[in-house]
Structure 1
Amino acid sequence: MVKLIPPCLARLYSYKQTAYFNNFFKTPSRCLKSMPDSSINHSNGAHNLKALGTLLDFAGDTKTRRPSLLDTNTISSTGDLVELPGAILGKDGVFKETSWQIHVYAHRHNVHITVARPPAWRHPVTGKVYGDNPPSRSVALSLSAGRLGFKHSGRKHYDSAFQLATYVMARMQESGINSYIEKLEVYLRGFGAGREAVTRVLLGMEGRHIRKKIVKVADSTRLKFGGTRSANPRRLG
């Protein structure tokens, strides 16, 4: 094996063929401590040698730092890439969404509640895959106030929306959907009476089975910026 000698080391002719020179690349700082003071002062290159030894010690330090939470992997003593279990950064691969969603559309005439499965969700019992075209989701349950027998103007009231939300919670519990849900997202759209009714149901006894699984509550009401002219307000009398 051929060793490349820096120019500053070439002037140290008294140490070229000694054991000290051969051991310098293994333990530089230990060799510098054993070097006599007279030999250090007899050549300007010795100062460069001392600086080089410190640099080699820093580069070849065998002490390993503590792993950080931002580290996703590390290199083992055998040279293999090992993934750290406590890493918080995203890992390579395809992201898989696992949260269920409840969409509440409450306008001034009716209220609609839709329960959506995660993309490509596999039933744990039957093995059937729902929504096998991510990021598309499949609908597990979709109901409105009209399905409970409320007709015409009776669908817009607070009571009809409260009964609908209670019925949806009961259906989810009876069909076993609640046992499949690990994380749940709630999206509210519109400012009808059903918005407050569904919120009260989720916070009450009817929503006790899924309330602790809610990880996100968002408002998806569409806002109009410009666009076409709106309809004239309705005036009675």
Structure 2
Amino acid sequence: MTTLSACRSAFAGLARPSTRAIAVPTTAARFNSTSSSSPSKDQLEELIEQSKSRQPAPVYSLSNTIGMISKRPSSRTGGYGLSDSEGGEWKPHGQGDHHLHVYSHKHNTHITFTRPDKGPIISLSCGNIGFKKAQRGTYDAGYQLAAKVFKMIEEKRIMPKQVELIYRGFGIGREAVTKALLSSEGRSLRPVINRVTDSTRLKFGGTRSPKPRRLG
């Protein structure tokens, strides 16, 4: 019983919140070793005024910090993901953009048009426009799918100011969507595209490969 009570008291001590004094910021003025251990009243007031005058640094999440850096400079954002329209403030890149996701693989092509908050507006694949089985993975299916999505954006009267084009996968539909965007079908969406991103997944190791076939 003595050992059990000792363990309980030890764990209870760990559960209690620790009360630690807040340290003075490292950027504040340091005192020489010849001075007294505690600063005077005037020095403390000076430190408090200095801490009040400092502006807190902007806090970005990991995704926003990564989004601040783009692959190439853009005239709309004034550089690599930075906005100079409001006094040179640092802003995450692509925060208010619509997104056009193109997922193309061997058997099909998927296109999704989303709002700035990533909410989908239009989401179609080649199967939704009448292509069946092996025909869904052809160049013509990808081209007609892109033309259909661009037409639906015009019919819904969606007027995005900026659109980020996001590719995923290396299927034949990727080239078909690019061709449709550069042709007359994409004339309304092409001027507002300000960024092109490749978000294809990279496998490190991947899944286990099948056992090699041995003949003879």
TM-score band w.r.t. shorter chain:
0.5 to 0.7
What is the percent sequence identity of the aligned residues?
Answer: 47
Q: Which has the larger radius of gyration?
A: 1
Q: How many residues align?
A: 128
State the Cα distance separating 1:87 from its structure 2 match.
Answer: 1.3
For the residue of structure 1 that corresponds to 2:142, the secondary structure is: helix
Alignment-derived partner of residue 166 in structure 2: 187
Q: Deviations over 1:145-188 (max 9, x none)?
A: 000111100100000110000000000001111x2x00000011
Q: Deviations over 1:58-112 (max 9, x none)?
A: xxxxxxxxxxxxxxxxxxxxxxxxxxx8611238xx9992100000000000000
Alignment-derived partner of residue 212 in structure 1: 191
Aligned-residue CA RMSD (Å): 2.3
State the Cα distance separating 1:138 from its structure 2 match.
Answer: 0.6
Alignment-derived partner of residue 112 in structure 1: 110
State the Cα distance separating 1:210 from its structure 2 match.
Answer: 1.2
- Over 3 Å counting, the alpha-carbon distance change for 1:86 and 1:165 in structure 2 is closer
Question: How high is the TM-score relative to the length of structure 1?
Answer: 0.50
- Over 3 Å counting, the alpha-carbon distance change for 1:113 and 1:231 in structure 2 is farther
How do 1:66-215 residues align onto structure 2 when only pairs under 5 Å count?
87-90=87-90, 97-119=95-117, 137-177=118-158, 179=159, 181-215=160-194
For the residue of structure 1 that corresponds to 2:141, the secondary structure is: helix
Q: In 1, distance between residues paired with 2:198 and 2:94? A: 23
- Over 3 Å counting, the alpha-carbon distance change for 1:231 and 1:173 in structure 2 is farther
For the residue of structure 1 that corresponds to 2:161, the secondary structure is: coil
After the TM superposition, which parts of structure 1 deviate over 3 Å for at least 4 consecutive aligned residues? 230-233
For the residue of structure 1 that corresponds to 2:202, the secondary structure is: coil
State the Cα distance separating 1:227 from its structure 2 match.
Answer: 3.5
Give the letter aligned to residue 99 of structure 2: Q
Q: Deviations over 1:93-148 (max 9, x none)?
A: x99921000000000000000001012xxxxxxxxxxxxxxxxx210000000001
Q: In 2, distance between residues paired with 1:188 and 1:231? A: 29
